[in-house]
Structure 1
Amino acid sequence: MNQSKQRFFIALVPPPDIQQHITEIKLYFAEHYNSRGALNSPPHITLQPPFEWLAADVPKLEESLKEFSANRLPIPVTLSGFAAFAPRVIYVDAVKSLELLDIHSYLMSYMEANFAIVDRVSQTRPFVPHMTVAFRDLTKDNFQTAWLEFSGRSLHFEFTASALTLLLHNGSRWNISNQFPLGASLQKS
């Protein structure tokens, strides 16, 4: 039997127009600041950090995420301005709404209870919803310069996240593997 493991993470992915805008910012960082790491995944807000899962058991994982998502409402998301995890990462800030904090904590508890998937690092620090545009490959000097350029820059988007997205690592980048509509069973009643 195939015991090979695949790497996944679970996130909220914005609609295509916002994805395109954020991707253009990532490309700007690649061109001007030599930071390409953020281009290895579509724009997203991570809810469950990367974890390994048996390839053979993916259908079970997907079925479970489908059930989880069906019983949660779509989430209003506001992206506002830029922030940083100095001295390496610059990101588009997502407003810490109750809905975002809720889905994050529910999902983390759910993954732990149902799959024994636990991200130790996330458990030790508060959840900061964000969309990375410049990654850990940003040098400290480039970070300083880029932060001067972006810290005061305004950006504002609002969207409703209507699905949880499962992303799969193919060895070089993260791609959308599947999406699970939020609130599917709630809309039927």
Structure 2
Amino acid sequence: MVNQTKQLYFIALLPPAEIQTVVTEIKQHFAKIYNSKAALKSPPHVTLQAPFHLEKDNLPVLEKKLAEFVKSESTMPMILDGFSAFRPRVIYVNVLKTPELLTIQTKLTNHLESTLGIVHRAAKSRPFAPHMTVGFKDLTKTNFYQAWEEFKDQKIYFEFTVSNLTLLTHNGSCWEIYREFLLAG
């Protein structure tokens, strides 16, 4: 039975709309050619805080904490450069590990843990690997290797400024943007 008092959320950085369009077209290619549709269930993004359940009554508190957090965080550069993989199941657009990106992820997860007790144990036990997934979960090993042959040397490069922290919620079938928080600066 589904708990109706809790909702599933995650926090991410999203690229500008025109880059989301390009990455979504790549996801659609994965769905059509490699029968991997799972990545289409969320907008293109870089996850900062992995999915977590929260009591619906606590949503205003989460929003307040995120609004407080972004006041001290500046807009930041983000660079997408080529494709990479978590073999043998995930292919993604590579996101460069800039100091700004590593810092905001650490600060955000520490802030959520200390103020709301939100912790993703698995994510906490491994290093942060920023990426923008285009094929995963339902990508079979056979299709992974075929797709990797197609994408491993393919060029993709974008530099842009991220100006929002985005709270996404799961509606039961896919992830959607719930609210954006403007970064200072």
TM over 0.5: yes
Shift of 1:70: 1.5
User: SS at 1:66's partner residue?
Assistant: helix
Number of positions where the alignment pairs a residue of Structure 1 with one of Structure 2: 183
Q: Match of 1:175?
A: 176
Question: Mapping of 1:142-181 within 5 angstroms?
Answer: 142-181=143-182
Query: 2:120 corresponds to which residue?
Result: 119
The secondary structure found in structure 2 opposite 1:78 is: strand
Paired with 1:62 and 1:108, the residues of 2 have a C-alpha distance of 15
Q: Please name the residue that 2:43 is paired with.
A: 42
After TM superposition, the score normalised by the length of structure 2 is 0.97
d(CA) in 1 for partners of 2:104, 2:18 = 24
> Cα distance, 1:122 vs. partner?
1.3
Q: Which residue of 2 aligns with 1:52?
A: 53
Aligned residue number for residue 97 of structure 1: 98
Letter in 2 for 1:102: T
d(CA) in 2 for partners of 1:48 and 1:149?
30
Identical aligned residues as a percent:
52
SS across alignment from 1:113: helix
Q: d(CA) in 1 for partners of 2:4 and 2:39?
A: 30
**Conserved? CA contact 1:3–1:56, under 8 Å:** no
Is 1:128–2:129 an aligned residue pair?
Answer: yes
Distance 1:33 1:12 in 2: 26
Residue 62 of structure 1 and its aligned partner are, at CA, apart by 0.5
Q: Secondary structure at the match of 1:133?
A: strand
**Distance in structure 2 (CA, Å) of the matches to 1:53 and 1:159:** 31
Deviation at 1:3, TM superposition (A): 6.8
The alignment partner of 2:128 has SS state of: coil
Q: 1:154 to 1:112 in 2, by over 3 A?
A: same
Q: Which residue in the other structure is 2:31 paired with?
A: 30
Structure-2 separation of matches of 1:29 and 1:60? 38
The reply to whether residue 17 of structure 1 matches residue 32 of structure 2 is: no
Per-residue Cα deviation, 1:60-116 (whole angstroms, up to 9, x for no partner):
110110110121001100000000011100000000000000000000100100011
Could you tell me how far 1:32 is from its partner in structure 2?
0.3
Structure 1 outlier segments of 4+, above 3 Å: none
Would the aligned equivalents of 1:37 and 1:137 in 2 still touch at CA under 8 Å? yes
Residue identity matched to 1:68: F
Cα deviation digits, residues 143-163 of structure 1 (max 9, x gap) = 000001100111000111101
In structure 2, distance between residues paired with 1:37 and 1:163: 24
Question: Residues of 1 paired with 2:114 and 2:57: CA distance?
Answer: 20
- Alignment correspondent of 1:137: 138
